[in-house]
Amino acid sequence: MSRQLLGPLVTTLPSSTRLANSGDFKQGLASSAASSEILLSAAITGSGPSGGSPLRQMLLETSQVRNIRDWVSPATLRLLHAQDVPDVVFLDMNADGAADFSFAQQLIKLRPSVHIVACSARNLTSPDFLLQAMRSGVRDFLQKPYDRSELSSLIARVVLERRPESARRTSAAKLLVVLGTKGGVGTSTVAVNLAVHLARMRDKKVSLLDFSRPMGDVAALLDLQPSFQLRDALQNEKRLDATLLAGLMTPHSSGLQVLSGASHLEDWQTASFSAVERIVEIAQQCFDFVVMDLGSHYSAEWKNVLQASEIVLVSEADLPGLAKLHRHLGALANLQIPSAQVRLIINRWHRHDDQALEKVELGMRMPVFARLPNDFKQVNDATVRGVPVTRGGDPLSSGFQSIALRLAGEDVSKQQKKSRLGQLFSR
In Å, how far are 15, 159, 380 from 65, measured between CA atoms?
21, 10, 55
The one-letter amino acid code at 408 reads: A
**In CATH terms, are 39-167 and 174-410 the same topology?**
yes
Please tell me the distance from the alpha carbon of residue 44 to that of residue 409, in angstroms, as a whole number.
49
Report pLDDT for 128: 75
Q: Using one digit for the tens of pLDDT, what is the confidence trace for 410-421?
A: 866 655 555 443
Query: In the structure, how many helices (H) and strands (E) does the chain have?
Result: 16, 13
Q: Is 199 helix (H, G, I), strand (E, B) or coil?
A: helix
Taking CA 294 as the corner, what is the angle to CA 292 and CA 299, rounded to the nearest 5 degrees? 125
Strands 250-251 and 257-259, sheet pairing: antiparallel
Residue 135 contacts residue 17 (beta carbons within 8 Å):
no
Phi, psi of 138 (to 5 degrees): -70, 135
Please list, in sequence order, all residues whose beta carbon lies within 8 angstroms of the beta carbon of residue 236, skipping any fewer than 6 positions away: 134, 135, 244
Q: Is 175 helix (H, G, I), strand (E, B) or coil?
A: strand
Q: Facing residues of 291 across strands?
A: 176, 208
Report pLDDT for 52: 54
DSSP E strands, 165-281: 174-180, 206-210, 250-251, 257-259
For every residue of 91-128, DSSP letters joined together read: EE--SS-HHHHHHHHHHHHH-TT-EEEEEESS----HH
Residue 85 contacts residue 111 (beta carbons within 8 Å):
yes
Report pLDDT for 89: 94
62-94 as b/e, with b when 16 or more CB fall inside 10 Å?
bebbeebeebeebeebebeeeeebbbbbbbbbe
Question: What is the pLDDT tens value at each position of the chain, 427 positions in all?
Answer: 444 444 333 333 333 333 333 444 433 323 333 344 678 999 998 754 444 578 999 999 888 998 899 888 887 888 989 889 999 999 988 766 788 889 999 998 899 889 999 988 877 667 777 778 888 888 888 888 888 888 988 898 888 777 764 444 445 579 999 999 998 899 999 999 999 999 988 778 999 999 999 899 999 999 999 988 999 899 888 888 888 888 889 999 999 999 999 988 888 888 888 999 999 999 998 899 999 999 998 989 999 999 999 999 999 888 888 888 888 999 999 999 988 899 999 999 988 888 888 888 887 888 889 999 988 888 888 888 888 886 667 889 889 999 999 999 886 665 555 544 344 333 3
Report pLDDT for 115: 92
Report pLDDT for 217: 92
Report pLDDT for 259: 96
Tell me the domain boundaries of the chain: 39-167, 174-410
> What would be the CATH architecture of the domain defined by 174-410?
3-Layer(aba) Sandwich (3.40)
Give the DSSP H or E segment for 420: helix 412-425
> What would be the CATH architecture of the domain defined by 39-167?
3-Layer(aba) Sandwich (3.40)
DSSP letter, residue 172:
P
